[in-house]
Copies of this chain bind each other. A is one copy, B any other.
């Protein structure tokens, strides 16, 4: 096991786009500024949702703001993202979303038609995910003080029976499962901006992952060590955080990671690594070796899970890092996302 992680200090003089990208700069901001001031127990401030006890009942709570640009894109829109993102943060923390509260920051001049389309998208996504919208709040700022609209969704949920996730419970030999092809969301947003002379038949993967998580939970229970939805920062960042929190290494079989040709092509052209591209409808699970095949089977047979794969395993070394096998028989270190190549993808 690795020694205690050194405390990060936030020394940047001002906030840059990279601080919102979910990679190294975000982690520095959270661990170096937010956590020491705000969180009583800074042990897992980067978890997707907090679990706490109210009146004898265990509940989970989370909140995310959504600032995606453009507002709508092939396969989804900010409203759908805002519901699914929060449902998924609860799901991978081991909880079923019960109720959401939503807040809007609207830019004066926003067309009612655009707003209504997004509110309708939220309503549809909430019904699809089986979650109630219990209330909300609306603020309006002057034209030029926002970009059409920003949405924040907070959610409460109840724990999924049988799960007890913690990166620290992981052991060498555990399998790393991925629910489907990566990079669809991030590359779709990039193409939807029209800044690149690129076209591809690609759609955002935004969807609730709750049913898939529950399928895994039913067969693997406490053998599920850890889950995460690899959104900003992608699979590489999520697994680096796992490796660090677990004090163990992650070994990826790179040729087993599902990536669509369109995503791979765009990444090659742009010099990006698909492992750093955001996803909105995928999740990673670390499952004890003995239950891994059953968990993968359950995942593949649940709706939307046919593309699930075992993409790697937990190893003793390299502690706190992620290694990937390359097509040429060698290995490479896979780092967290650095900088912000694709701003405002969620």
Contact = CB atoms under 8 A, between A and B. Distances in A.
Nearest to A110: B15
B37 A120 contact: yes
4 shortest A-B CB distances, which residue pairs? A20-B140, A154-B154, A57-B57, A50-B134
Contacts of A134: 39, 50, 52, 61
B38 A123 contact: yes
Give the one of A49, A65, A157 with max B CB within 10 A: A65
A75 interface: no
Interface string A107-143: 1111110011001101100100000111111111110
A65 B152 contact: yes
B105 A154 contact: no
Interface residues of A, number: 83
A156 B51 CA distance: 12
A150 B147 CA distance: 13
Nearest to A106: B15
A34 B145 CA distance: 22
Give the one of A16, A98, A152 with max B CB within 10 A: A152
Interface in A1-24: 10, 12-21
Given A13-B111, A38-B126, A59-B59, A29 B101 contact: no
Give the one of A40, A56, A61, A120 with max B CB within 10 A: A61
Given A38-B123, A61-B134, A65-B139, 14 more contacts: A20-B106, A21-B140, A37-B122, A38-B126, A38-B136, A39-B133, A47-B135, A49-B135, A54-B98, A54-B156, A54-B157, A55-B59, A63-B136, A65-B137
B14 A112 contact: yes
Given A30-B138, A119-B38, A138-B34, A99 B50 contact: yes
Contacts of A109: 14-16
Contacts of A12: 112
A258 interface: no
A245 interface: no
A297 to B, nearest CB: 30
A45 B101 CA distance: 11
A122 B34 CA distance: 10
A103 interface: yes
Contacts of A14: 109-112
A158 to B, nearest CB: 5
A243 B145 CA distance: 35
Contacts of A17: 108, 140, 142
A55 to B, nearest CB: 4
A334 interface: no
A145 B142 contact: no
B57 A54 contact: yes
A238 to B, nearest CB: 15
A97 B38 CA distance: 16
Given A55-B158, A61-B134, A134-B61, A141 B103 contact: no
9 contacts: A16-B108, A17-B140, A29-B138, A38-B123, A38-B126, A50-B134, A56-B56, A59-B59, A63-B135
